[in-house]
């Protein structure tokens, strides 16, 4: 089972966007036990795409194409593949209906080229697009048995389509007697190199299950993968390896699963315990609350909060005494504790997080870029924590947000 990935898009060849789709798809296929032997990129050009298909069909059983399913003249992946395999293009009824519906809802006249997006090959399987309009295609050529998988280019459309529609099909089609079973462990507060060092002998000697570390933004995950014939056999093998890992680095472990995050774990803990949180954000200017707001149903644990970016709004919104700010400054233990206490009182919640510090690029109140305070108020009082991190504005703000969630998580599980 040899696969290759062809990304279609001149903007990749111009270096304007990074080909993260290839990375995502490679990972997905690897998880399904399908080996990717080549990745390639061609521009929005009929002849060169055709040439690439000719090369690919000689060497691969599964050809995954992404990009070029949109409504513009540049989008020609479907047309070229149809011609290459000798099929016609027809409208997918479901996709067509969704597009018509979309036009009505947006109160917008649909142009003729809109309907290019909902074309599929004859004798193919349509892949619905949960987050967009372009329909994907799964097609196996009768004679050569080469499979063509056509996916949309925007990662926001490609990823859900891959997870929801393609994974089940590939599992079914390429099912082997042994399958891969994975478990993802998530760690916060430990860097990838230290995690790998702590586990180096395990990583080097483990064959089945294997351990694959991935550094993500502000966290590290470990994917344990075992190849075996049933989920019942996989479980104990994964349990055994996980126990060894947890013994060494369990203090940094916060949760399971690819589709998980520190924020989700914290919100689940709040829901479970029936507690609510608010925030007063200076340094992070709403980023902590925005992370909460991304999750649906968060209103039961988060009623709202404050963005107090200036000294004056700390005084006006939070009723902090201006003499406190005059005496200690806004980037201070005293200020962050007052922010946490006051926001908790005003929002009538169980917990309040407060953030104040220097996101940069310039120093503030004589304090270096990357230094910040986080305060946590609860019914037991208030605690405050000082951090000094390196990085640019975005990195510093994101690290502060994550540190805030970690403080709250530790409070919730203590």
Considering the complex, what minimum distance in angstroms separates the CB of residue 133 from a second copy?
9
Which CB, 46 or 194, lies closer to a second copy?
194
Considering the complex, what minimum distance in angstroms separates the CB of residue 145 from a second copy?
21
Which CB, 122 or 392, lies closer to a second copy?
392
Taking CB atoms within 8 Å and a gap of at least 24, the contacts of 198-205 are 198/248, 198/249, 199/245, 199/248, 199/249, 202/241, 202/244, 202/245
173 Cβ partners below 8 Å, 6+ apart?
Answer: 147
Which CB, 26 or 367, lies closer to a second copy?
26
Considering the complex, what minimum distance in angstroms separates the CB of residue 76 from a second copy?
14
| DSSP 8-state class, residue 300 | G
Which CB, 67 or 124, lies closer to a second copy?
67
Q: How many CB atoms lie within 10 A of CB 330?
A: 25
Considering the complex, what minimum distance in angstroms separates the CB of residue 278 from a second copy?
8
CA 86 to chain centre: 38
209 Cβ partners below 8 Å, 6+ apart?
Answer: 224, 225, 226, 237, 238, 241
For 12-159, where are the E strands, in sequence order?
Answer: 35-42, 62-66, 89-91, 119-121, 125-127, 136-140, 147-151
Query: 224 is written with which tokens?
Result: 């344990």
Considering the complex, what minimum distance in angstroms separates the CB of residue 123 from a second copy?
28
Considering the complex, what minimum distance in angstroms separates the CB of residue 302 from a second copy?
6
Strand partners, 7: 41, 66
127 Cβ partners below 8 Å, 6+ apart?
Answer: 135, 136, 137, 138, 151, 161, 165, 166
Which CB, 41 or 338, lies closer to a second copy?
41
330 within 8 A of 373, measured Cβ to Cβ: no
76 within 8 A of 65, measured Cβ to Cβ: no
Which CB, 125 or 385, lies closer to a second copy?
385
Which CB, 142 or 321, lies closer to a second copy?
321
Name the residue among 140, 141, 137 with its Cα closest to residue 150: 137
Considering the complex, what minimum distance in angstroms separates the CB of residue 219 from a second copy?
13
Considering the complex, what minimum distance in angstroms separates the CB of residue 38 from a second copy?
6
Which CB, 272 or 316, lies closer to a second copy?
316
């Amino acid at each position: 089972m040899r696969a290759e990935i062809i990304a279609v898009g001149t903007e990749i060849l111009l270096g304007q966007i990074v080909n993260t789709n290839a990375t995502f798809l490679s990972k997905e296929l690897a998880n399904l036990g399908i080996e990717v032997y080549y990745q390639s990129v061609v521009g929005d050009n009929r002849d060169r795409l055709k040439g690439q298909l000719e090369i690919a069909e000689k060497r691969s059983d599964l050809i995954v194409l992404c990009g070029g399913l949109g409504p513009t003249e540049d989008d020609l992946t479907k047309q070229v593949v149809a011609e290459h395999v000798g099929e016609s293009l027809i409208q997918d009824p479901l996709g067509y209906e969704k597009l018509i519906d979309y036009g009505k809802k947006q109160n917008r006249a649909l142009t003729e080229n809109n309907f290019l997006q909902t074309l599929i090959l004859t004798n193919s399987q349509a892949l619905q697009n949960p987050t967009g309009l372009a329909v994907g295609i799964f097609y196996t050529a009768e004679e050569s048995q080469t499979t063509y998988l056509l996916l949309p280019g925007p990662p926001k459309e490609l990823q859900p389509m891959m997870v929801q529609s393609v994974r089940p099909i590939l599992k079914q089609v390429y099912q082997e007697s042994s399958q891969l079973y994975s478990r993802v462990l998530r760690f916060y507060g430990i860097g990838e190199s230290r995690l790998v060092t702590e586990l180096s002998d395990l990583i080097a000697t483990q064959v089945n299950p294997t351990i694959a570390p991935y550094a993500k933004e502000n966290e590290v995950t470990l994917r344990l993968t075992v190849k075996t014939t049933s989920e019942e056999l996989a479980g104990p093998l994964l349990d055994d390896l996980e126990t060894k890992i947890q013994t060494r680095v369990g203090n940094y472990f916060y949760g399971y699963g690819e589709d998980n995050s520190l924020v989700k774990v914290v919100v689940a803990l709040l829901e479970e315990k029936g507690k609510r949180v608010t925030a007063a954000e200076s340094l992070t200017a709403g980023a902590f609350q925005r992370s909460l707001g991304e999750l649906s149903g968060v209103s039961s644990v988060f009623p709202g909060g404050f963005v107090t970016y200036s000294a004056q709004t700390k005084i006006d919104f939070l009723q902090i005494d201006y003499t406190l700010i005059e005496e200690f400054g806004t980037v201070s233990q005293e200020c962050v504790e007052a922010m946490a206490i006051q926001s908790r009182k005003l929002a009538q919640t169980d917990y309040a997080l407060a953030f104040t510090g220097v996101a940069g690029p310039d120093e503030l109140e004589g304090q270096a870029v990357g230094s910040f305070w986080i305060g946590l108020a609860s019914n037991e009082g208030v605690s405050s924590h000082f951090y000094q991190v390196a990085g640019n504005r975005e990195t510093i703000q994101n690290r502060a947000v994550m540190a805030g969630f970690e403080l709250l998580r530790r409070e919730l599980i203590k």
